[in-house]
Amino acid sequence: MMALFALEPASLLALALLIWLVSGVAGGVFSAAARLSGLISGLGGMVASAAVIVAAFEIVHRGGAVQAVALPVLPFTAEFSPLNGVLLLAMSVTALFCSLYACAWLAGTTSRKRSRTGLLCHLLMAALTAAAVANNAIELLVMMELAALCAYFLIVQTDDVKSRRAGLNQFLSGRLGTVCLILAFTVLHHVSGSLDFDVLRHTAFPAGAKSLAFLLALAGFGLYAGIIPLHAWVPQSHSSAPAHAAALFSSVLMKIGIIGIVKVGLDLLGAPPLWWGLMVLLLAILTAFIGGLYALMEHDIRRLLAYHTLENVGIILLGVGGAMTGVALNLPELAALALLAGLFHLFNHGLFKTALFLGAGEIEMQTGIKDMEKLGGIARLMPWTAVAMLVALMSMAALPPLNGFASEWLLYQSLFQLSAAPLFIARLLGPLLAVGLALTGALALMCVAKVFGVTFLGAPRSKAAEEATPAPLAMTLSSVLLAMLCIVFGVASSWIIPHFAAVAASVLNAPVLQAAQHGAVFSATSAVSAPMVALLLLGMPLLPWIIAAVLRGARLPNRLRGEAWACGYGHSADMVVTATGFTQPLRVMFGPLYRLRQHVMPAKLVSTLHQGWLGAFCRRLAFIELAVLLVVAFA
């Protein structure tokens, strides 16, 4: 039996899929024993994720052309390519730390929730792993639909009005996305006579069929990825599901949608026309800016992070749209640099956003609170969680020398190259998109100040916040290790970027970008050495401290610590800045944009959609569909 699972990517993937399924079922069987069930599910998920990480490294390292490989034991043929390898790597690193978090979380919840959450999360990861390496449209759609249904049942576990509404939104969005994808691949099948990706890749499609299929695929994958205005399911779903499941939604499920756009727009359909790239760029900057703007208005910490996921989806799509535009304009360096930036940010987003969701889950577990207005002072009570979330928040805001900065800097460089393109529309859009990305970064910085300041600093604003204690070791370790990876992938980005450049080159069938091979986050116009930035950032604060320590002598006694005060008055919790007060100026400034949601989704339409009978009907339909898909998948 062990010979079947030699250290080959196909064998490792098959082993991982089997471990996810077996450990998910076993965790449910032993759900009455809290600690045992949590360990079975958590450790099983960690082992499966580790196997996929090794397989993904091997796939990316091998590079080369796309290969179709049959998985041992399982009746499944996988497609191995560097693009699929990067997606597997981004997904499995997230799943590894979510499984570590789940070891403690599952042990602390009810038996019913423990069995359902463990099994559903494992089914979700198994389905998405299979979708990531699917070699034809039928396998891809079946696995994406199975994953979407697992996500639905993870959302509606807590049977309250909010969760039911979130689940219904996700169910309707997922079914609409699947219908769009079925129509897209039907158009392609009508011309090519096949749904195999290799056949589609070598078929010459008429311009009309090609564009129709792309628009349908953009809508279908866009619903999964949460592109604005197709994002309605995202904020509520991330708030209603368990924290580690929400991290999987953000860093795994939505990434399948992004890679789907890359696959259709740059791989299966050949060279895209210019208007495809321009459309993706405009949708991207809209998603990034609106996502960041709405994030600032949220007080529910997980809804805020969900809106920031939308912002980062937009940032990743700026790279994808830039690559499509570069191909259309026959500018290979622009295309390679933009796609490199998009893929690198896709990976980096998984690291810092998972750390943030897991940190938010730790706070929720220890206080029972998701509303930032009722927190405060958590940093003194949960110091490791505070440090991990601060690092992840800084990475989300693209501050050097963290990984978010490294990938966004590459994206800026690609937009500067777009500004130098010979076509007028490109020269116009390049600066506008760069300014839009800068405004999005400013909104992200405000979110760092809001989340960390209101949640972790100041005085506690509720009894639960005042009595918070550190989270269990496994949960704290999961967010701390991810924060450390954010630092590592930022400081060491000079050595990591060439590997992503090779993946981008394989997608574009172009030479590897030479500018990415010089040990710096670099383009033809400028270079930034991430290790040097890290050394300077460490040295600059230390230098004044060293000078003061050497020169002060006996003139400056050590300061005494006393009670906090403000303008001569004793400090009280009422003086602490609230989340509402912090964002009030923006609420006034961008009032029309915030009110736009009410016009797009009027209250009457929302109340009609969320009638009780429709939710109950969809829930029964989801049970039936999940059962049928499981039979199909295992058959």
The rounded distance, in Å, linking the Cα atoms of 195 and 216 is 16
Picking from 180, 307, 301, the residue whose alpha carbon sits closest to that of residue 254 is 307
The predicted model gives 153-179 an average pLDDT of: 87
Q: What is the pLDDT of residue 624?
A: 86
The rounded distance, in Å, linking the Cα atoms of 260 and 83 is 11
Picking from 315, 319, 323, the residue whose alpha carbon sits closest to that of residue 349 is 315
Picking from 161, 131, 48, 64, the residue whose alpha carbon sits closest to that of residue 96 is 48
Q: Please determine, for residue 3, whether its predicted confidence score (pLDDT) is greater than 50.
A: no
- Angle (CA) 244-248-254 rounded to 5° is 150
Strands 77-80 and 569-570: unpaired
Lowest mean pLDDT among 261-265, 288-292, 610-614, 624-628: 610-614
Is residue 592 packed enough to be buried (19+ CB in 10 Å), middle (13-18) or exposed (0-12)? Answer: exposed
Neighbours of 384 (CB within 10 A): 17
Q: Please determine, for residue 481, whether its predicted confidence score (pLDDT) is greater than 90.
A: yes
Picking from 222, 341, 211, the residue whose alpha carbon sits closest to that of residue 284 is 222
Residue 370 · residue 360 · CB < 8 Å: yes
The rounded distance, in Å, linking the Cα atoms of 348 and 342 is 10
Q: Please determine, for residue 34, whether its predicted confidence score (pLDDT) is greater than 60.
A: yes
Per cent of the chain over pLDDT 90 is 39
Peptide bond into 229 cis (omega under 30): yes
Q: Please determine, for residue 315, whether its predicted confidence score (pLDDT) is greater than 80.
A: yes
Residue 476 · residue 386 · CB < 8 Å: no
Confidence of residue 577 (pLDDT cuts 50, 70, 90): low
All residues at 6 or more sequence positions from 613 whose CB lies less than 8 Å from its CB, including other chains: none
The SS3 assignment for 462 reads coil
Q: What is the pLDDT of residue 258?
A: 93
Per cent of the chain over pLDDT 70 is 86
The predicted model gives 411-425 an average pLDDT of: 87
Q: What is the pLDDT of residue 185?
A: 93
* The amino acid at 201: R
Radius of gyration of the chain from its Cα atoms, rounded to whole angstroms? 24
Distances (CA, A) of 459 to 338, 374, 376: 44, 10, 5
Instruction: Report residue 502: phi and psi, to 5°.
Output: -65, -40
Terminal CA-to-CA distance of the chain, rounded, Å? 22
Q: Please determine, for residue 207, whether its predicted confidence score (pLDDT) is greater than 70.
A: yes
Q: Please determine, for residue 2, whether its predicted confidence score (pLDDT) is greater than 70.
A: no
Which residue ranges make up each domain of the chain?
7-135
The rounded distance, in Å, linking the Cα atoms of 249 and 120 is 12
Confidence of residue 425 (pLDDT cuts 50, 70, 90): confident
Reported residue count of the chain is 635
Q: Please determine, for residue 202, whether its predicted confidence score (pLDDT) is greater than 90.
A: no
Which is more confidently placed, 601 or 35? Answer: 35
Q: Please determine, for residue 514, whether its predicted confidence score (pLDDT) is greater than 90.
A: no
Q: What is the pLDDT of residue 1?
A: 41
Instruction: Pinpoint the alpha helices (H) of 67-155.
Output: 82-107, 111-132, 137-155
The rounded distance, in Å, linking the Cα atoms of 377 and 68 is 54
Q: Please determine, for residue 354, whether its predicted confidence score (pLDDT) is greater than 90.
A: yes
Q: Please determine, for residue 75, whether its predicted confidence score (pLDDT) is greater than 70.
A: yes
The rounded distance, in Å, linking the Cα atoms of 334 and 321 is 11
Confidence of residue 543 (pLDDT cuts 50, 70, 90): confident
* DSSP designation for 250: I
The predicted model gives 149-162 an average pLDDT of: 86
Q: Token pair 């599910």 is at which residue?
A: 41
Picking from 363, 344, 366, 219, the residue whose alpha carbon sits closest to that of residue 305 is 363
Q: What is the pLDDT of residue 182?
A: 94
Q: What is the pLDDT of residue 519?
A: 47
Lowest mean pLDDT among 107-116, 395-404, 405-414, 495-504: 107-116
Positive/negative CA dihedral, 509, 511, 514, 517 = positive
Lowest mean pLDDT among 211-220, 294-303, 483-492: 294-303
Neighbours of 551 (CB within 10 A): 9
Which is more confidently placed, 578 or 626? Answer: 626
pTM as predicted: 0.90
Residue 164 · residue 615 · CB < 8 Å: yes
Peptide bond into 401 cis (omega under 30): yes
Positive/negative CA dihedral, 437, 300, 241, 624 = negative
Confidence of residue 570 (pLDDT cuts 50, 70, 90): low
Residue 357 · residue 239 · CB < 8 Å: no
Residue 578 · residue 449 · CB < 8 Å: no
Residue 537 · residue 401 · CB < 8 Å: yes
Supply the mean pLDDT for the chain. Answer: 85
Q: What is the pLDDT of residue 205?
A: 87
